[in-house]
């Protein structure tokens, strides 16, 4: 493993491009997270990525939401299902997660490899390896979670893994992960929507089309003409949209977009 964790100018450029792309997708939590997980995994040559938010990280961890990337590469999803079942029964079963949570108390946002968290002997004998990672067909988990607020408990981040038989992540790759997670976490709840935020992708297609027209400044009549529907239908969709986003007027809806700096990318319309 290389001794240097120094980031190169090309690394910083790739991180900037990745975070900028996520920002463009930021009004859809599912879309920006899928891009975040897949592109960061590719950047550090990982084969599987699990990203999520935890309402409580250090004690009885409560998972707000998670997303995955890489299962279409032939990994056994049964291992992931089993991991979730084991977490529900005993959140402390995962020795790498437990070790990481302890180390993170004095090093928030640290990106740590499996070899930095547990010994090979502990790992080989653990339930985590025997029942989850071996089933999945992966090894060498790298953890990186960063505080989402002023508390040390709420956290966002990811776990990256490589196929069994491959080597551990090196220090530079860990540094890339740490810096990317730091920048992404800083945008959560603003340019990047949270799991708990109302998301356009959870609306039906026609409602999303009406939403796009609304955000582009069309009147009810213009929306009806543009989409080939009645004004009554437009109004029904608008009611659903307002309820979904917790607003009462067009101006409140527009203010929400401006405040979050989402712009007019509308990635969710496709």
Q: What is the mean pLDDT of the chain?
A: 87
Tell me whether residue 193 is in a domain: no
Which residue did the predictor score with more confidence, 129 or 198?
Answer: 129
Whether residue 175 is predicted with pLDDT greater than 90 in this model: the reply is: yes
Q: Residues of the chain with pLDDT > 90: what percent? A: 53
Whether residue 2 is predicted with pLDDT greater than 60 in this model: the reply is: no
Residues 134 and 245 in one domain: no
pLDDT band for position 245 (50/70/90)? confident
- CATH, residue 136: 3.30.450.80
Whether residue 151 is predicted with pLDDT greater than 70 in this model: the reply is: no
Specify the number of domains making up the chain: 2
- The pLDDT value recorded for residue 270 is 65
Residues 133 and 218 in one domain: no
Give 192-251 as a 3 state SS string: ECCCCCCCHHHCCHHHHHHHHHHHCCCCHHHHHHHHCCCHHHHHHHHHHHHHHHCCCCHH
Tell me whether residue 192 is in a domain: no
Please indicate, yes or no, whether the overall pTM of this predicted structure exceeds 0.95: no
Q: Residues of the chain with pLDDT > 70: what percent? A: 91
Whether residue 150 is predicted with pLDDT greater than 80 in this model: the reply is: no
Q: Residue 49: which domain range?
A: 9-186
pLDDT digit string (tens) for 64-99?
667 889 998 888 888 888 887 887 788 778 899 889
For residue 116, give Cα distances in angstroms to 87, 97, 168, 171, 174. Answer: 22, 12, 10, 11, 11
């Amino acid at each position: 493993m290389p001794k240097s964790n120094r980031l190169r100018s090309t690394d910083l450029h790739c991180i900037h491009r990745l975070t900028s792309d996520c920002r463009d997708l930021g009004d859809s939590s599912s879309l920006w997270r899928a891009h975040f997980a897949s592109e960061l995994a590719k950047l550090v040559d990982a084969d599987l990525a699990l990203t999520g938010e935890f309402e409580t990280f250090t004690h009885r961890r409560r998972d707000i939401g998670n997303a995955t990337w890489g299962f279409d590469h032939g990994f056994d999803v049964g291992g992931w299902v089993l991991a979730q079942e084991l977490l529900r029964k005993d959140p402390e079963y995962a020795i790498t997660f437990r070790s990481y949570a302890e180390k993170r108390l004095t090093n928030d946002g640290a990106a740590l490899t499996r070899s930095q968290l547990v010994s090979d002997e502990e790992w080989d004998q653990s339930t985590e390896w025997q029942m989850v990672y071996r089933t999945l067909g992966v090894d060498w988990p790298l953890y990186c979670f960063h505080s989402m607020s002023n508390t040390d408990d709420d956290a966002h981040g990811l776990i990256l893994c490589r196929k069994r038989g491959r080597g551990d992540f090196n220090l530079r790759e860990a540094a890339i992960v740490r810096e990317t997670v730091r920048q992404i976490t800083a945008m959560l709840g603003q340019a990047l929507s949270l799991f708990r935020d109302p998301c356009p992708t959870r609306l039906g297609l026609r409602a999303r089309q009406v939403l796009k027209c609304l955000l582009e400044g069309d009147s009810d009549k213009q929306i009806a003409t543009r989409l080939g529907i009645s004004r009554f239908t437009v109004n029904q969709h608008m009611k659903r949209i307002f309820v979904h986003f917790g607003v009462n007027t067009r101006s409140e809806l527009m203010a929400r977009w401006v405040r979050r700096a989402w712009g007019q990318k509308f990635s969710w319309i496709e």
